[in-house]
A and B are shown apart, each in its own frame.
Chain A
Amino acid sequence: MVLEVLGDLSTPVIMGLLLGGLYALIALGLSLVFGVMKLINIAHGDLVVFGSYFAYAAMTMWGIDPILSLVMGVPLLFIIGFAIQKYLMSRAFAVSMEAPLIIAIGISLILQNTYQIIWSPMSRGLTTSYSLGGFSLGGAVVPIVYLLDFIAALVVMLLLREFLKRTYLGKAISAASQDKRGAHLMGINTGRVYAFAFAIAMATAAIAGVFLGLTFPFTPTSGVSFLIIAFGVIIIGGLGSMLGTFIGGLVLGLAQTLGGYFLGAAAQMLFAYLIVLVVLAVRPQGIFGR
């Protein structure tokens, strides 16, 4: 009896872990920006969806594969991110801590309405030859895109971690997040470092947007729901930690599919957010937070 239940569990466990990869991928940029600038980037979800729409445009207009379109999407969002920090956020930070938050809300509204004007409120999706395919794994039939989500999240997380650990710029980003004045005195131009951090976060958002679009249909307001999921992920994992964000994504994905398995599909997100509440109550800094 017990074994039978456990046997059936393999499907939600595998699906949850892989789906959690997508959640982690979406949350990595949010976590990086918060960790470095202490800014809650309300527009993060909408910028992820920018990545989805860009890939959609590349696919419908030029017939370019969504994953291949990242060759353009990643640099584009990198530049947009750099510009947002350098020309908007840095000035807002000079005013107060609330000003950048309001700028982010403004960016969010502008993006959502722009998507509506260009692509209508209808839902879109990045449908490719492989997006409907599946394979068997441990008794479960897993969509290929879920596996791609997980691999992408793992690769991006590891690259970010190595970048932050090994390069001068990465170390400078960590240093600026720990002690801004101390970083200044080390000869670090924190304005430039922040712009790079935001740009890198947006580059990850471009990647997240493509895999989001491959996995789920999206609408002009999808960014909001994925922002909330990303919040859940970094609350569980701990703000600012890349590994923590990855694990947080897996936990949230698992909570969702297991919640759905035991309590019914309607309750899956309820269960996921209960986990978030429990973490907030028991370990508010998150599993990997300090």
Chain B
Amino acid sequence: MSQAASLKISNIDVFYGTFQALWDVSLVVKPGEIVALIGSNASGKSTLINTISGVMHPARGTAEFGDQDISTLDPFQIVTLGISQVPEGRRIFPEMTVLDNLILGSYNRRARPKKEQNLKMVYELFPLLKERKNQLAKTLSGGEQQMLVIGRGLMSDPKLMLFDEVSLGLAPIVIDALYKALREIRARGITILFVEQNVRRSLKEADRAYIMKAGRIVLDRNVAELQEEEIQKAYFGV
């Protein structure tokens, strides 16, 4: 299986032009963990995810994966290291078939030799994608598209997967199915960091949770020790 590597974010500041989106953010995800990143809109969750993925770069602080500094790497290099982001908003390639979308997931050099093996795993996880493999991706329903984006992420043979708002705008039954898939992914030894707005859902699924507010981490706890009221307080500041 994939060798163990921790994600370690230390004291990063991230800017959009002159606007500071993250302030002194630190976070650790250890191998095999499932960690939730909770917060309201514009609290900086997606910015953090995108900084880990290399879409954004920190002005100060470092991001490390294993013993490698990834702060200045580009997204394609980070994917090759084994960090895969499942982006928000079902970013499929709409005019390509389901199968081609999945194959593109295995674009990086490390994943290419494992293409067939990972494809088998994705089809086991989401049998529906196998049935629809020759359909254009844009013809899938919202939930199916989300499965495709997750499957595509798995095709890159990740050690760590970042999920950005997987449940956004989907029906509860679909959300249940997606989180079931997340648990199965974790059971296969892949570390997970996921962004979620739904506090109750996060506490149910995660080992640990980070709560963000206005670009800062305001709470970091094992979920077993965490009371919902405490989150509400950190969340809303009441």
Complex alpha-carbon distance, A103 and B37, angstroms: 44
B-chain residues with CB within 8 Å of residue A174 when the two chains form the complex:
93, 95-96, 100
10 shortest interchain CB distances as A-B pairs: A187-B79, A187-B108, A182-B91, A184-B75, A189-B76, A178-B93, A187-B76, A187-B107, A175-B93, A185-B85
Interface residue A181 (Cβ < 8 Å from any Cβ of B): yes
Closest A-chain residue to B95, C-beta based?
A: A178
Interface residue B21 (Cβ < 8 Å from any Cβ of A): no
* Min distance, Cβ B92 to any Cβ of chain A, angstroms: 7
A-chain residues with CB within 8 Å of residue B103 when the two chains form the complex:
168, 171
Category for how many chain A residues contact B: 10 to 19
A179 touches which of B93, B107, B108 (Cβ 8 Å): B93
B-chain residues with CB within 8 Å of residue A290 when the two chains form the complex:
95
Task: Tell me if A172 and B55 are in contact (CB < 8 A).
Answer: no
Which residues between 260 and 290 of chain A lie within 8 Å of chain B, taking CB atoms?
290
Most chain A CB within 10 A, of B94, B104, B112, is at B104
B residues adjacent to A (C-beta < 8 A):
53, 55, 74-76, 79-80, 84-85, 87, 91-96, 100, 103-105, 107-108, 111-112, 152, 156
Complex alpha-carbon distance, A181 and B74, angstroms: 12
Interface residue A105 (Cβ < 8 Å from any Cβ of B): no
Task: Tell me if A186 and B152 are in contact (CB < 8 A).
Answer: yes
Complex alpha-carbon distance, A171 and B100, angstroms: 7
A-chain residues with CB within 8 Å of residue B105 when the two chains form the complex:
186
Task: Tell me if B80 and A185 are in contact (CB < 8 A).
Answer: no
Known contacts A171-B103, A184-B74; can you find 13 more A-B pairs with CB under 8 A?
Answer: A168-B112, A171-B100, A172-B104, A175-B93, A175-B96, A178-B94, A178-B96, A185-B87, A186-B108, A187-B111, A188-B76, A188-B107, A189-B74
B-chain residues with CB within 8 Å of residue A185 when the two chains form the complex:
53, 55, 75, 79, 84-85, 87, 91
Complex alpha-carbon distance, A135 and B76, angstroms: 54
Task: Tell me if A182 and B92 are in contact (CB < 8 A).
Answer: yes
Main secondary structure, interface of A, reads helix
A-chain residues with CB within 8 Å of residue B75 when the two chains form the complex:
184-185, 187
Complex alpha-carbon distance, A187 and B79, angstroms: 5
Total cross-chain contacts (CB, 8 A)? 67
Complex alpha-carbon distance, A183 and B79, angstroms: 11
Task: Tell me if B55 and A184 are in contact (CB < 8 A).
Answer: yes
B-chain residues with CB within 8 Å of residue A182 when the two chains form the complex:
87, 91-93
A-chain residues with CB within 8 Å of residue B74 when the two chains form the complex:
184, 189
Task: Tell me if B87 and A181 are in contact (CB < 8 A).
Answer: yes
B79 touches which of A171, A179, A186 (Cβ 8 Å): A186
Task: Tell me if B104 and A175 are in contact (CB < 8 A).
Answer: yes
B-chain residues with CB within 8 Å of residue A181 when the two chains form the complex:
55, 87, 91
B-chain residues with CB within 8 Å of residue A183 when the two chains form the complex:
93, 104
Closest B-chain residue to A172, C-beta based?
A: B107
Closest A-chain residue to B100, C-beta based?
A: A171
Complex alpha-carbon distance, A178 and B107, angstroms: 16
Which residues between 76 and 129 of chain A lie within 8 Å of chain B, taking CB atoms?
none
A-chain residues with CB within 8 Å of residue B79 when the two chains form the complex:
185-187
B91 touches which of A172, A179, A189 (Cβ 8 Å): A179
Closest A-chain residue to B111, C-beta based?
A: A187
Complex alpha-carbon distance, A171 and B103, angstroms: 9
* Min distance, Cβ B65 to any Cβ of chain A, angstroms: 15
Most chain A CB within 10 A, of B105, B107, B111, is at B107
Complex alpha-carbon distance, A185 and B55, angstroms: 8
Task: Tell me if B156 and A187 are in contact (CB < 8 A).
Answer: yes
27 pairs from A and B in contact (CB 8 Å cutoff): A168-B107, A171-B107, A174-B93, A174-B100, A175-B93, A175-B96, A178-B94, A178-B95, A181-B87, A181-B91, A182-B91, A182-B92, A183-B93, A183-B104, A184-B55, A184-B76, A185-B53, A185-B85, A185-B87, A186-B79, A186-B104, A186-B108, A186-B152, A187-B75, A187-B76, A187-B111, A189-B74
Complex alpha-carbon distance, A175 and B96, angstroms: 8
Complex alpha-carbon distance, A182 and B96, angstroms: 13
Complex alpha-carbon distance, A48 and B80, angstroms: 38
B-chain residues with CB within 8 Å of residue A172 when the two chains form the complex:
104, 107
Complex alpha-carbon distance, A82 and B105, angstroms: 25
* Min distance, Cβ B139 to any Cβ of chain A, angstroms: 13
Complex alpha-carbon distance, A30 and B112, angstroms: 31
Complex alpha-carbon distance, A185 and B83, angstroms: 9
* Min distance, Cβ B78 to any Cβ of chain A, angstroms: 8
Complex alpha-carbon distance, A185 and B91, angstroms: 10
